[in-house]
Amino acid sequence: MAKKRATKKRVKKAAPPTRKSSSSSRGRSAAKATTKKVVRKRPSGSVQSRLKSLDREIVKLINQRTELTIEQLKSTDEPQTLMFSTQAEAELWQRLDEANKGPLSSVAIRSVYREILSAARSRIRTLRVAYLGPPFSFTHLAAIERFGKSADLIPVNTIASVFEEVNRGHADYGIVPIENSTDGRIVDTLDMFTRLPLRICGEVQMAVHHNLLSRSPRSEIVEIYSKPQALSQCRDWLARNMPQARLIEVTSTSTAAQLARDKPGAAAVASRQAAVQYELQIIADSIEDNTHNVTRFAVIGDDSTEPTGRDRTALLLQIPHTPGSLSEALTAFKKNKINLTWIESFPLRGPEVGYLFFLDFEGHAGETPIKRTLNDLEKKAVRLEVLGSYPRSEPVA
């Protein structure tokens, strides 16, 4: 009997492995429970079925929209008037904004429609658009924003070349930077308006975010490349955070990105798109000193536009070089209650003494108050040249 009791005690001591086994069983149960939770997060069969059905319907509707746009372009006697109609697009954006209840933003909706319109236009005739290149510069991004990727976007090396391409008929339109909220006027652009008889037919405003791009670690960066305007717009950040690096000016942010890709210890100040294109890492993002850094781009060509109610007019003005002549000329804006939004001055070329003024103000040259203002200015001007009236745009993030 004693031996049997001892055996029972030994059996009781052997119980812990059973408890361990029970614990592992609970672990397996927990793992199964976790697996079940993951499974529940997956879309159900009905959701997947609806997504597939919607995808088919969306593709069908996109193609129908494209076909109707092509039909509309073909039905007019002058398809060119609709190929680049700022008024028609302004009306479309307004309709889309009113219809859009989210969650997509207006910017996202417009980007979809822009490519539909661009593809439809290319079926009639491919628009040729010259821009300050190379590809993936901010001007290139503005050209895509305005004309879509189906347009023939032609990079050229200088702002003057953009004007020349349009003036010679080698391009239908050009797109150039005209003003930055941090650095102000783009001198080369304003200067070319004094040289060639081209009009401003539209504008694109883009929020410009600069990024420090490189393939080298931040501690090893000794040179930073970019165009002068980009370096200027980031001067404070670079002075505080990269004091050891030498700043080197190049012709464009895309050229800077190429150099950063190819040179060890080099970095570029450029766009996120440039980082993707040139396979660079974003060392620091949004390094611009002004968080509301916006560049306005002018679309140049020969077109005139109809009033939309939200327009801007630009003109060149030369007045007598006498005391008080500018003040007297500007009273025309106050008299007619016109909001003057921008004024820049340039010394006249050659032996003549005086200045040429670039003015920008709200309203359309076809509207009565603007007509009165222009008549008043003409009486006091040596030279008055309307560069164009066009719809104002909102900054694109």
Q: State the Cα torsion 250-254-256-259 to the nearest 10°.
A: -120
Beta strands in the chain (DSSP E): 128-132, 152-156, 173-180, 184-185, 199-207, 211-214, 223-226, 246-249, 266-270, 281-284, 294-301, 311-318, 340-347, 355-362, 383-391
Whether residue 72 contacts residue 66, with contact meaning beta carbons closer than 8 Å, is answered with no
- Residue 79 structure tokens: 């398809």
Helix, strand, or coil here: 304? coil
Cα dist from 247 to 13, 58, 138, 233, 242, whole Å: 77, 49, 20, 13, 10
The CA-CA-CA angle for residues 136, 199, 328, to 5°, reads 120
Would you say 290 and 166 are in contact if contact means Cβ atoms under 8 Å apart?
no
Q: Smallest Cα–Cα separation from 189: which of 19, 387, 353?
A: 387
Burial class (CB in 10 A: 0-12, 13-18, 19+), 136: buried
Q: Which of 234, 204, 227, 83 is nearest to 141 (CA)?
A: 204
Q: Are 208 and 281 in contact (CB under 8 A)?
A: no
Instruction: For 166-195, give the DSSP string.
Output: HHTTS-SEEEEEEEETTTEE-HHHHHHHTT
The tens place of each residue's pLDDT in the chain, 397 residues long, gives 444 444 444 444 444 544 444 444 444 444 444 444 544 556 667 888 999 999 999 999 999 999 998 888 888 776 666 677 777 777 888 899 899 998 998 888 988 998 998 888 888 888 899 998 888 888 999 999 899 999 999 999 899 999 999 999 999 999 999 998 877 888 889 899 989 999 999 999 988 899 999 999 999 999 999 999 899 999 999 999 999 999 999 988 989 999 999 999 999 999 998 999 999 999 999 999 998 889 999 999 988 888 888 999 999 999 999 999 999 999 999 999 999 999 999 888 878 888 999 999 999 999 999 999 999 999 999 999 999 999 888 887 6
